Structure 1
Amino acid sequence: MIDEFLAGDLGAVEQAIRTAVADEVMPRYRQLAAHEIVEKKGPHDLVTTADRQAEEHLTGALTKLLPGSVVVGEEAVHADPAVLTALGGDAPVWIVDPVDGTRQFVHGDPGFATLVTLAHGEELLASWTYAPVFDQMAIARRGGGALLNGEPIHCGSPEPGAVLHVAVSHYDFTTDEEKRALSGLQVPGVEVRPCGSAGLEYLNVARGLLDAVAFTWENAWDHAAGLLLVGEAGGAHATLAGEPFRITGGNALPFTAARDEATVAHILGLLAAAG
């Protein structure tokens, strides 16, 4: 069933995402009332009515498109962590982040996206990264390359000797230990800045606009779409143990995704030295 679905036209998935965002997210962009914003674990970890409604909308639409599939969404997992077990199950899984970059969304910043990934048996099969304010839809299919608004995109490689530009876990979300690990990137030849929406940072790497990302957390909904997108655009990734990132968790952190293997190796070396 999953092979037949992937062999077909996946345009219905794109349309489902666009519709959910048009119905549930964009009407609330810069229009949120105070009661529609809730703190989850602290003032920097927010959820809005848009997140919840968009995830519910996508859950219904995506499981209808692929009968027998299940959804692992950020908000569903927050309500019931047992939902995560589906990532290692037998059914095809839609991994959904309804509003990646909720803090940006709350503040009226355009830098947010909706991320959807189709996985099966822990393998990433297809992904969609949709930045509605920028009218950008990036799609990746395993073995089929990466597209942005229908045009192929490629990571390329950094220019030899050029300063590497790296986006890292935002300092507001990192522990002292994680800050210490990321401090390994504070060296000549590397310019570091805190990340915004993880999904959009991965898109920047896939387009060759950013050299690498280095993250200290492993929520599948934040990373699955971007990791497939970067990989299909010719990039690479690895955890601190030099292994592929596992969507089921238990990864050696931090991990990095970058424009090429050489950059991945360089970033991992710097991170390891700091540890």
Structure 2
Amino acid sequence: MIESFLEHVLDGGTTEVEEAVRKAAAAEIMPRFRRLADHEISEKKGPYDLVTVADRAAEEHLTRALTALLPGSVVVGEEAVHADPGLYGALRGDAPVWIVDPVDGTRQFVHGDPGFCSLVALARHGEVLASWTYAPALGELAVAVRGRGATLDGRPLRCGSPTPGAVLEVATSHPDYTTPDQKRALLGLVTEGVRPRPCGSAGLEYLSLARGTLDATAFSWELAWDHAAGLLLVAEAGGAQTTVTGEPFRITGGNTLPFTAARDAATAERIRALLAGAPAGD
């Protein structure tokens, strides 16, 4: 069952997962959008780390639906891992793993901003096989399958390359989520020809990269639910990624941070070099 389902997904059979993601959003997220009461919002680690009843309900909905699609699979979800950090270790196990961020961009969701999404990725042995990025308030669904490309609402996605000589727009980590060393690394982006800005929903920043409306990201945290779906989306759209030491980002963790994803390999190397404090090309 497991192998046949994985083959089915890799052959482009993603409709069942798309339906599960849409149903979870329709049942648990959108009815609460711009209708949250104060008691339905709480902080996890501080005022910039929010969780709502919609996050929890959508993750529970997706957990039931996705494991029913693939018996023997497990879910690594943001809210479940917050309650039991040991669940994160499933990323290193043998079972297929659904990596779920039910509401990526919870701050935006809480403030009534449509810039949030649901992120789902399917991985095994640390390799992301497929991903789904659904922005229900924007009516957009992006899908990527390893080796088969990326689409947005059924249309092929391509990152393209930045216009030569143009200023590079780079979405970066919020200062509240960076260590002093990471802040110093990110200061390398304050240079001629680069325009850094704080990121919004990580999933939607990756979608912007894949569609060629953002040039790069520079992130200083490595939680798999924020990055797994988007990194595959960018890769299948022709983009590139690297950590500051030049090694590929691993969803299982232990990465040297910050890391970057970009529209092409040359841009990724330029951002990596700036983060490392060296002129691009050194």
Work out the CA distance in 2 between the residues paired with 1:25 and 1:180.
Answer: 37
Alignment partner of 2:79 out of 52, 75, 80:
75
Rounded to whole Å, the distance in 2 between the matches of 1:262 and 1:131 is: 29
Measured against aligned partners, the alpha-carbon deviations of 1:24-53 in whole angstroms (never above 9, x if no partner) come to: 000000000111101000111000000000
Paired amino acid for 1:272: A
Structure 2: gaps spanning 5 or more residues: none
Q: If the length of structure 1 is used for normalisation, what is the TM-score?
A: 0.98
Q: 1:273 & 1:70 partners in 2: Cα distance?
A: 40
Aligned to 1:167, the other structure's residue is in SS state: strand
2:271 aligned partner: 267
Which residue of 1 is the match for residue 121 of structure 2? 117
Pair 1:175-2:179 in alignment: yes
Show the counterpart of 2:189: 185
Pairs aligned (count): 274
2:12–2:148 Cα contact (<8 Å) kept? no
1:8 CA displacement: 6.1
Amino acid at match of 1:13: V
> 2:199 matched to which residue of 1?
195
Q: Which runs of 5+ in 1 are unaligned?
A: none
Equivalent residue, structure 2, for 1:66:
70
- Matched-pair identity in %: 70
TM-score by length of 2: 0.95
Question: CA–CA distance in 1 between the matches of 2:15 and 2:193?
Answer: 42
2:243 and 2:8 mapped to 1: Cα distance?
A: 31
Contact 1:44 1:173 in 2 (8 A): no
Question: Which secondary structure does the structure 1 equivalent of 2:269 belong to?
Answer: helix
Shift of 1:179: 1.7
Q: Say whether 1:221 aligns with 2:229.
A: no
1:100 partnered with 2:104: yes
- In structure 2, give the amino acid aligned to 1:176: P
Does the 8 Å contact 1:94/1:116 carry over to 2? yes
4+ runs deviating over 4 angstroms: none
User: Is the contact between residue 76 and residue 98 of structure 2 (CA under 8 Å) also seen in structure 1?
Assistant: yes
- 2:59 — aligned with what? 55
**2:8 maps to what in 1?**
5
Residue 15 (structure 1) aligns with: 19
CA distance in 1 between counterparts of 2:256 and 2:180 reads 17
Pair 1:138 & 2:127 matched? no
- Determine whether 1:34 maps to 2:38: yes
Q: Secondary structure at the match of 1:165?
A: strand
Structure 1 residues 164-201: Cα deviation after superposition (integer angstroms, max 9, x where no partner): 11000112333333221100000000011100000000
Q: Which residue of 1 aligns with 2:235?
A: 231
**d(CA) in 1 for partners of 2:101, 2:112:** 18
CA contact (8 A) 2:12 2:145 kept: no
Distance 1:231 1:175 in 2: 28
Q: Any conservation in 2 of the 1:237–1:255 contact (CA below 8 Å)? A: yes
